[in-house]
Copies of this chain bind each other. A is one copy, B any other.
Amino acid sequence: VLAQLGCHQVNHLQVTENQPADAPATLARLQAAALVFVTGGDQERLTEQLLGTQFLEVLRQRHQHDAGFILAGTSAGASALGGQMLVAGRGWRSLLGGGISVIPGLALLPSLLVDQHFIERERYPRLLHAVLAYPMLLGVGLSEETGLLLRPGRPAEVFGTEVVVVADARHLTATNYPTLAKGQPLSARGLRMDLLVAGDELVIG
């Protein structure tokens, strides 16, 4: 597919127990790449293999300081880029106490908490719960065929055919989250929600 789209030098940079992220050949390829595309699958496996590696440090440096470098992620590969990531939470009960699991992400986009397949899988309750748990992070729910384009020094820009749902708990006036028991309903006042479509911009703090 990527070759059909005009990408003529596509290589699969595989990182596993047998091909560790910090192998010299792997790091050399990362240094030379113009674009890294983090594919979907299992975001816990991604962070297990990459957190604490020199590979991740090189990726962070290139992402932050190399204006020509492009970092992309889809599905689990998008979620893993955030400061924290949702790894469990299904259906309406994900809004109840104990209804989600959130663990540290790769923090290449440290101020975000990214969810995906968002409107299609109706993940509103789990993203709302996640931003109440981590109110300093901006919750970003990506729909399928839809993404955010992030470039240094500019606001992020939405592309694609559907919506990006932004859940913002940074200015809450009240919540019962800190004392919430398992199975009890969450309360919160002052959540902000934005629905963004292609061309809309988002300032990421």
Contacts and interface: CB of A to CB of B under 8 A. Distances in A.
Contact of A161 (B119, B162, B185): B185
Given A119-B95, A122-B122, A122-B124, A195 B187 contact: yes
Interface in A170-190: 176, 184-190
Contacts of A190: 192, 194
A104 B121 CA distance: 30
Given A92-B119, A92-B122, A124-B124, A195 B200 contact: no
Query: How many copies of this kind of chain does the complex include?
Result: 2
B194 A91 contact: no
A163 to B, nearest CB: 4
A193 interface: yes
The residue among A95, A192, A193 with the most chain B CB atoms within 10 A of its own CB is: A193
A125 interface: yes
A interface, size bucket: 20 to 34
A196 B191 contact: no
Given A92-B119, A124-B124, A194 B186 contact: no
Given A124-B124, A163-B95, A185-B163, A192 B191 contact: yes
Contact of A122 (B91, B184, B192, B193): B91
Contacts of A191: 192-195
Contacts of A163: 95, 185-187
B195 A128 contact: yes
Interface string A85-124: 0000001100100000000000000000000000111101
A192 B194 CA distance: 9
A197 interface: yes
Interface string A112-149: 00000001111011001000000000000001000000
Contacts of A124: 122, 124-125
A187 B161 contact: no
